Amino acid sequence: MGRKDSLGSSKEAATNNIPGPNSTLPILVAKFQNVGLSFNYMIALSGAHTLGMAQCSTFSSRLQGSNGPDINLDFLQNLQQLCSQTDGNSRLAQLDLVSPATFDNQYYINLLSGEGLLPSDQALVTDDYQTRQLVLSYAEDPLAFFEDFKNSMLKMKSLGVLTGADG
């Protein structure tokens, strides 16, 4: 049943090609290209961050004031309050504070408002004109996002499939 990805399981192997939360745009692009995913696929797949949570420790650099003009100050204050509590680094924040339980295009709207939780997410709108334009197009057109996300998932599903005795 399902894909044959390996003969065993390994956390290191599973996360080896996944960019970290503090990745710069060049690192993001390289990680996606290394597995055969284009620039456009990267932006569409990043929209999966409309769901899920992250520990304060994964976005602490966004809380330190080294964010430049790209962070919404109300958003920053809310995160600082959440993460300054006694169990701060293990506290969880929604990746999408507006609609955390809905798969939608709000993630892209958040990025344009300076409310990207992870530095690697916010880099999509602050570090490159081309990525910003794709983010803007998905923020304006949820159907385009859904279609491109579907196609990106289908492409990702076909990458590195092992068959026969190899998997």
49: in domain:
yes
Query: Does the pLDDT of residue 152 top 80, yes or no?
Result: yes
Alpha carbon distance 125, 108 (integer Å): 9
Query: pLDDT category, 11, cuts 50, 70, 90?
Result: confident
**pLDDT at position 9:** 73
28: in domain:
no
Query: Does the pLDDT of residue 53 top 90, yes or no?
Result: yes
For residue 161, which amino acid is it? Answer: V
Helix (H) or strand (E) holding 155: helix 142-157
Residue 70 is assigned to a ligand binding site: no
Q: State how many domains the chain has.
A: 1
Contact 83, 56 (CB under 8 A): yes
Domain span holding position 98? 38-158
pLDDT mean over 79-104 = 88
pTM confidence score? 0.87
Helix, strand or coil, per DSSP, at residue 143: helix
Residue 50 is assigned to a ligand binding site: yes
Residue 49 is assigned to a ligand binding site: yes
Residue 166 is assigned to a ligand binding site: no
Query: Does the pLDDT of residue 4 top 70, yes or no?
Result: no
pLDDT mean over 93-98 = 93
pLDDT mean over 13-40 = 88
**pLDDT at position 93:** 93
Alpha carbon distance 32, 121 (integer Å): 14
13: in domain:
no
